[in-house]
Amino acid sequence: MSNLTSINPINNSIVGTYPEHTNEEINKIIYEVNDSFNLWKSLQIEQRCQYFKQLSIALKSRKNEFANLMALEMGKPISQGEAEVEKSAWVCDYYADNAPKFLSNKKVKTEASESYISFQPLGVIFAVMPWNFPFWQVFRFAAPAMIAGNVGVLKHSSNVQGCADAIEGLFLEVIFPNNVFRNLTISSSKVEEVIENSMVKAISLTGSTSAGKAVAKKAGSVLKKTVLELGGSDPYIVLKDSDLEKTTEACLKGRLLNTGQSCIAAKRFIIEESIKSDFENIIIEKIKDQVVGDPFDERTTIGPMVSIEARDQLKAQVKVTIDAGANLLYKSITPSNKNNAYHPVVVLTDVLPGMPAFDEELFGPVLSIISAKDKEHAIILANQSCFGLGAAIFTSDIEEGKRIAEFELEAGAGFVNDFVRSDPRLPFGGVKESGYGNELSSYGILEFVNIKTIYIR
């Protein structure tokens, strides 16, 4: 029997080992979850909402404990971990408050004596979730899918199995009906056979583009729906009329939250050339105020990366970019040695298409600065990417900013004068190689239901 291992990125020590479920155990868990579906969906939606209200209370009461667990397993600064747990509670409350309205029958006037649209759950939904937001990613899937009447099985990232077990434990603590949500302790090699299981009706994945393509291919072969939230290389356009003090503040938050390890982090800063030097000078001064250190220290804003392997991959991307002609403008000091996963905050300038820092997703604390001749050139550069998750535009001309965000930027979200982030009240998803489908808002809860026409003569 193989084990999944959680490694502390501060010192590369083993946090825990978790025996991987056997094929027999996997099938038994899925069977038990499927068996719970009829009971769970038969509850009134208001009853399901009440369970999630209690789940929200439980999350908030243990936020420090769960933040410590995230810091231990993947290096998230403790204050950011607490904020993540609070946000997970928020998404539970949001759907508990709004799902009955979202899923109420919608009458449609036709020639029938009565016709309407009903929203019915599908059954077992398989969630494949990443390590970077180990609580938020799970609850933004679970709250809408399960309040709609579905049941869930989770395959969490191998290195955050402590978080996965804690989440499963919360459903038991709140005394949900047995087996409506279970964690599968499995590696990625077992994902395809779970998708093939006839009791699994749909799949939600947040992760890399390559993982999304593999899951979509397998799910397509067995005609099962997928929602995919994948990688990103979000462009932030800074026009010459922007307020640079406020702009650089937003850009820094957008880049360095979670040590830059976010699909929707700011990754390419496209600056009109007349203000490029000013932007660089201001943002470097702000970077110097960041605290790189122990994630258990409340003052820390940047912790280690998730693993030594991730750190080394980012270092290689930076090196290739510099070798290709980009300039290293700034590099912070870190408590680095071969036994931890800290990576310095790096600012690269004169980044061009064809370089890793332009073409690829850099998943860590690296700022890539790109010069644009003018607004039109900036928009071309922003869209010159295989990704399309989020994008931002900074300008004092709000109407022009709105026009660019809405009509010009190829992304699932366009923000004006602020950094891109998810919000339970707004749909979240991407285009191009950043995936398809939506999470959150009224649109997210409709992804895993049968939108059913009822027609009465």
Catalytic residues: 229, 263
What one-letter code names the amino acid at 211?
A
| Residue pair 153/123 in contact by the 8 Å Cβ criterion | no
The DSSP result for 402-438, as a single string, is HHIIIII--SSEEEESS-----TTS-B--SGGGEES-
- Strand-strand pairing, 346-349 and 234-238: unpaired
- C-alpha 252/C-alpha 248 separation (Å) is 6
In the 8-state DSSP scheme, what is residue 354?
Answer: T
- C-alpha 256/C-alpha 221 separation (Å) is 39
Distance separating the N- and C-terminal Cα atoms of the chain: 59
The crossing angle, in degrees rounded to 10, of helices 63-74 and 45-61 is: 70
Nearest-5° Cα angle at 365, 406 to 299: 105
Contacts of 50 (CB under 8 A, 6+ apart): 96
Alpha-carbon separation of residue 13 from 132, 274, 307 (angstroms):
19, 48, 11
What one-letter code names the amino acid at 343?
H
Assign 3-state DSSP to the chain and report helix, strand, coil percentages, each to 5: 45, 20, 35
- C-alpha 451/C-alpha 449 separation (Å) is 6
**Dihedral (Cα; 264, 58, 162, 263), 10-degree rounding:** 0
- Alpha helix stretches (DSSP H) within 43-77: 45-61, 63-74
The DSSP result for 229-278, as a single string, is E----EEEEE-TTS-HHHHHHHHHHHHHGGGG--TTSEEEEEEEGGGHHH
| Residue pair 99/176 in contact by the 8 Å Cβ criterion | no
